[in-house]
Chain A
Amino acid sequence: MRARVRAWLDDDGGRRRWALVLAGCVLALLLGTLRGAGLTDDDDFYAPAGISYIRWAGSALTARDGAWTRAQIDRAFEPNHEHPPMAKYVMGASWWVFTDVLHVLPTLDGARAGVSLLAALLAYVVASLGWMLRRRWGAVTAVLCLFLLPRFFFHSQVATLDVPVASLTTLAGYLAWKGRRSGPHAWGAAVAFGAALLTKLNAPFLLVAVVLHWLLRSWRGFAVSAGKLTLPPVPVTLPRMILVGPVLFLALWPHLWFDTVPRLGAYLQYHLKHYPIYLYYLGTLYTQTIPPWHVPWVMFVAVVPSTVLVLMLLGAGGGARALWREATAAAPLPPDDDTERDSLRAFLFIQAFIAIGIVSFTGVPKYGGEKLFMPLFPLVAVLAADGAATVAASLGRWMKDARVCRALPTGLAAVHAAWALWSSYPFPLSYYGEAILGPRGAEALGMENTYYDVADKDLALWISRDAPAGARVHFEPNHKEYVRTWGWLARDGYLRTDIRTSDEANADYVVLTHERRWNTYAGLAARYRTLPVVHERTLDGVRLYTVYRRR
């Protein structure tokens, strides 16, 4: 048995061993710093829903409490039924393990650990893809270029659906690629695609990438003869994904087991007619209208450290080149290793373009910085491995030592990104890269300096230390979100339980987050200007929030 495990780990030059080590490092880093991550306004939606779902699953598996009745299912799956349950199952399961059984994490962190577990799965997949392109350095580069991105790191620690859907779509894409020739991988792709569908609505677009890539490789096989259309061989993955994915979607979302058609219709309608969410972008406030198409592209360039960005763009350029070569070749390219790698680059490029394109070129609301196109980042991180190799080859013009050439781009980019993460923590959502002159440049140009109404744990600690007994705190401009998240901070031991949120009239402290996407911000800032400032948080000199003593 041990020999078989060792052989499995050592296969393909040790790809799995390296991927597991890298995934383990990522998981350790995420779990080790989990307590520092602030709360988003989504944590309170997804974590309790996940706990409700997993409690039902426990009852269902043991056939207790009438779990299989419609009443119990509807009750358990009512919370957050706007989104499918897969990521919330994982959050609920990790809450059960870390909080309910092991008692090593408080409630919300227990659920959030589930997202970190999915992020570790993503690290494994990204390392594997990086290995397929550039072996060991590729795996290392891809993982570093993804998980040291400040904003991606933050999203990997909070109870939201964006990293989970990035994780599962990347996994499904990876298996779809491998499944072109392997039966088990094709089934794996189908199951992973179902899991991705069960996570968030951007998952179905993976099929578009798979189909486009198939057309790209196989267009020469289409023929019309005597009025009959002949198709090239369809990869085994595709029909399995199309058939198994939706079946899993329905089978594993009990909310859809009753009134299936109207509830499915409501799910689609909710997202097709999503209410507008405020966005402050290049000095313009978008409150009712859909922001312009270039928002996600500009945000992508703006939130990635410059060195990592160059590697990603170089890699994406290689992907585009591979796509062009594959599409325009007069005859099918020979199936050797180089061609396969080029084909993988093209596939990753198509996926990446679709991941950001569906946000950019459709009428969906654009908000929340980079969160809506999170599946882009793993793909460009893998392509960054190619970018690093290109730079390394270029450095070879001047340097003889190939190891130094390989280490320099990856090492410098990793150190730079790690510094970016370190210096912005615990506010990675406020990080901006050098392409936009950092947080200062972004603030000056009129970009959001934060979003997601992050409840900062440092603020909770400060106020727990300094505030008088029974202190009342009011938040502006968006108080209601902090009512929910500060409740969690108190329950989980980050905040003194006698400190409460309150309306402004009864507040001892007012916390003003400097978010200009609220059109009341300017008036509020003017109103509080005369109050004494007792605490302030800045990033690179840019004010994120200010605490005023009201009485």
Chain B
Amino acid sequence: MADTEVAPGPMLTTTPPASAAPRPAAWPAVVFALAVAWAGAHRACTADGPVTDSRLDAVVEAVGQAAPQALVVVHPPWRTDVADALRARLGARDVTLALPADALDGRRPVVAVRWPRAPGPGALWRLRLDGERDADGVTVSFHAGALGGAPAPAAAAAAPSAGGGAWALPGALAAAVVQVRGGREVDCNAWDAAAQRWNCPGMDEWNYVGLRTLPIAGRGRACLWAHPVTGATLSIRFPKVALGKALLVGHGLSDGAAGAQGGQPVDLAVTAGAAARALRHPNVPGWAEDRVETPGGGMADVLLEVTTPHDGARHFCVWLEVEP
């Protein structure tokens, strides 16, 4: 490369006499040198620590102090070898590398096993730290519940109370029968107890029926996620519900989805024994509540059928209460 170009900037000018220009600062070169060194050295910060019997024993002993239902999460998430070794020793305990939704929200106690040399874990920053132990160099921390500002437990805080205390939606969900019918025939029979939801095998991730807290009308509302499917009917059957005077039905679209360009209305057909009512939720923000008379009460199945002409951004949520 010929070196004949015009020298426009300080570094390209002929070196002036020392008295004419200030000497360049040293720190830019030092910072750059540190960056070069860090490029090579940073790996030491995340190098895998060894898995030894003594270490595993110490961890198992520490984890044993946690509640039986606590989820054991191994950190960092790429340590499948650690997770496998702990599963072999912990038996019935649930050992995972990733926190499910209920643990992320603080609804399930968590024991974090932090193998040496890994930052984070970021997912635990929102959880309350109840205690911490050193187990032969491994940090075992105990967490229960979300810190202030974290999302409220989905099945608790913002949930409307179930009428009469006899029948309550959160508890009844596990007994529900969820299906997609019509254009597709799918039994949504994969119950995820941790997440409190029915998943629909083979369908998209959002095709499930489960408890969520959605932003609706500007506040977090606990409700039952029931995303409709284009050309099919999402059917949710609650068997043997002790009816009262009426069913109170709440429904809404999440604030992010309501009013979306081209968004279609969602139709909700409610059947309770001999009573039936067709409801429609337009593509607008807000939470609507309707009443379906169930004269005579008695015991009957309650069927919700959710449909829409087009399911784009139809983040639809419902709630049911029995009016005694």
In the assembled complex, B130 has its CB within 8 A of some CB on chain A: no
In the assembled complex, A490 has its CB within 8 A of some CB on chain B: no
In the assembled complex, B274 has its CB within 8 A of some CB on chain A: no
A42-50, A144-152, A215-223, A437-445: which lies at the interface: A437-445
**A-side contacts of B80, CB under 8 Å:** 543
Known contacts A520-B199, A520-B205; A389 and B9 CB within 8 A of each other? yes
In the assembled complex, A7 has its CB within 8 A of some CB on chain B: no
- Chain A CB count within 10 A is highest, among B98, B204, B254, B259, for B98
Known contacts A282-B125, A389-B10; A416 and B259 CB within 8 A of each other? no
Q: Check B100–A444 contact: CB distance below 8 A.
A: no
Known contacts A443-B77, A446-B122, A518-B205; A341 and B35 CB within 8 A of each other? no
Minimum C-beta distance from B180 to chain A (A):
12
In the assembled complex, B124 has its CB within 8 A of some CB on chain A: yes
A22-30, A106-114, A405-413: which lies at the interface: A405-413
Q: Check A478–B195 contact: CB distance below 8 A.
A: no
Q: Which of B8, B25, B126 contacts A337 (CB 8 A)?
A: B8
In the assembled complex, A276 has its CB within 8 A of some CB on chain B: yes
Which B78-94 residues have C-beta < 8 A from chain A?
78, 80, 94
Interface size range of chain B in the complex? 35 or more
Q: Which of A135, A314, A520 contacts B6 (CB 8 A)?
A: A135
| Shortest Cβ distance from B30 into A: residue | A394
Q: Check A13–B6 contact: CB distance below 8 A.
A: yes
A65-73, A97-105, A266-274, A349-357: which lies at the interface: A266-274
**B-side contacts of A199, CB under 8 Å:** none
**A-side contacts of B120, CB under 8 Å:** 283, 444-446
Q: Which of A306, A394, A503, A521 contacts B28 (CB 8 A)?
A: A394
In the assembled complex, A434 has its CB within 8 A of some CB on chain B: yes
The docked-state distance in angstroms from the alpha carbon of A486 to that of B10 is 54
Q: Check A307–B35 contact: CB distance below 8 A.
A: yes
Q: Which of B38, B118, B126, B256 contacts A276 (CB 8 A)?
A: B256
In the assembled complex, B76 has its CB within 8 A of some CB on chain A: yes
Q: Check A391–B118 contact: CB distance below 8 A.
A: no
In the assembled complex, A516 has its CB within 8 A of some CB on chain B: yes
Number of interface residues of A (CB under 8 A): 81
Q: Check B119–A434 contact: CB distance below 8 A.
A: no
Q: Check A135–B119 contact: CB distance below 8 A.
A: no
**B-side contacts of A13, CB under 8 Å:** 5-6
| Shortest Cβ distance from B79 into A: residue | A541
Q: Check A288–B125 contact: CB distance below 8 A.
A: no
**A-side contacts of B205, CB under 8 Å:** 476-478, 518-520
The docked-state distance in angstroms from the alpha carbon of A275 to that of B262 is 12
Known contacts A443-B78, A521-B98, A522-B96; A541 and B6 CB within 8 A of each other? no
Known contacts A135-B12, A446-B123; A393 and B24 CB within 8 A of each other? yes
Minimum C-beta distance from A535 to chain B (A):
15
Q: Which of A275, A285, A289, A445 contacts B260 (CB 8 A)?
A: A275
**A-side contacts of B9, CB under 8 Å:** 133-135, 341, 386, 389
> B281-315 toward A: CB 8 Å interface, digit per residue (1/0)?
00000000000000000000000000000000101
Q: Check A441–B119 contact: CB distance below 8 A.
A: yes
Q: Which of A269, A445, A519 contacts B121 (CB 8 A)?
A: A445
- Chain A CB count within 10 A is highest, among B38, B78, B192, for B78
Q: Check B118–A444 contact: CB distance below 8 A.
A: yes
Minimum C-beta distance from A436 to chain B (A):
8
**A-side contacts of B48, CB under 8 Å:** 541
Known contacts A409-B32, A444-B75; A525 and B98 CB within 8 A of each other? yes
Inter-chain contact total with CB atoms closer than 8 Å: 216
**A-side contacts of B96, CB under 8 Å:** 522, 525-526
Q: Is the interface of A mostly helix, strand, loop or mixed?
A: helix
In the assembled complex, A480 has its CB within 8 A of some CB on chain B: yes
Q: Check B78–A275 contact: CB distance below 8 A.
A: no
Q: Which of A134, A136, A306, A479 contacts B1 (CB 8 A)?
A: A136
In the assembled complex, B101 has its CB within 8 A of some CB on chain A: yes
Q: Check A525–B97 contact: CB distance below 8 A.
A: yes
In the assembled complex, B11 has its CB within 8 A of some CB on chain A: yes
**B-side contacts of A520, CB under 8 Å:** 192, 195, 199, 205, 208
| Shortest Cβ distance from A526 into B: residue | B96
> A275-295 toward B: CB 8 Å interface, digit per residue (1/0)?
110000011110011000000
Q: Check B35–A396 contact: CB distance below 8 A.
A: no
- Chain B CB count within 10 A is highest, among A282, A283, A309, A311, for A283
In the assembled complex, A463 has its CB within 8 A of some CB on chain B: no
Q: Check B11–A437 contact: CB distance below 8 A.
A: no
Q: Which of A134, A441, A479 contacts B8 (CB 8 A)?
A: A134
> A512-551 toward B: CB 8 Å interface, digit per residue (1/0)?
0010101111110110000000000010011100000000
Which A477-527 residues have C-beta < 8 A from chain B?
477-480, 503-505, 514, 516, 518-523, 525-526
In the assembled complex, B104 has its CB within 8 A of some CB on chain A: yes
B39-47, B131-139, B237-245: which lies at the interface: B39-47
- Chain A CB count within 10 A is highest, among B11, B124, B215, B257, for B11
The docked-state distance in angstroms from the alpha carbon of A514 to that of B38 is 28
In the assembled complex, A403 has its CB within 8 A of some CB on chain B: yes
Minimum C-beta distance from B159 to chain A (A):
17
| Shortest Cβ distance from B7 into A: residue | A135
**A-side contacts of B38, CB under 8 Å:** 306, 434
Which A327-385 residues have C-beta < 8 A from chain B?
337-338, 341
Q: Check B215–A289 contact: CB distance below 8 A.
A: yes
In the assembled complex, A191 has its CB within 8 A of some CB on chain B: no
> B272-283 toward A: CB 8 Å interface, digit per residue (1/0)?
000000000000
**B-side contacts of A269, CB under 8 Å:** 261
Minimum C-beta distance from A104 to chain B (A):
33
In the assembled complex, B26 has its CB within 8 A of some CB on chain A: yes
In the assembled complex, B20 has its CB within 8 A of some CB on chain A: no
The docked-state distance in angstroms from the alpha carbon of A314 to that of B11 is 14
Q: Which of B103, B202, B261 contacts A273 (CB 8 A)?
A: B261
- Measuring CB to CB, which residues of chain A are less than 8 angstroms from any residue of chain B? 13-14, 133-137, 266, 269-270, 273, 275-276, 282-285, 288-289, 305-307, 309-311, 314, 337-338, 341, 386-387, 389-398, 402-403, 405-406, 409, 412, 416, 434, 437-438, 440-441, 443-447, 474, 476-480, 503-505, 514, 516, 518-523, 525-526, 538, 541-543
Would you give 27 A-B contacts (Cβ < 8 Å), ordered by A? A134-B8, A137-B12, A284-B123, A305-B39, A338-B8, A390-B24, A392-B11, A393-B11, A396-B24, A397-B23, A397-B26, A405-B11, A438-B43, A441-B45, A441-B46, A441-B119, A443-B78, A444-B46, A444-B120, A444-B122, A480-B204, A504-B201, A514-B98, A520-B199, A522-B100, A538-B78, A543-B77
- Measuring CB to CB, which residues of chain B are less than 8 angstroms from any residue of chain A? 1, 3, 5-12, 15, 23-32, 35-36, 38-39, 42-43, 45-46, 48, 75-78, 80, 94, 96-101, 103-104, 118-126, 192, 194-195, 199, 201-205, 208, 214-215, 254-257, 259-262, 313, 315
Further 5 A-B residue pairs, CB within 8 A, beyond A288-B215, A477-B205, A504-B201: A14-B5, A135-B8, A288-B315, A443-B77, A520-B205
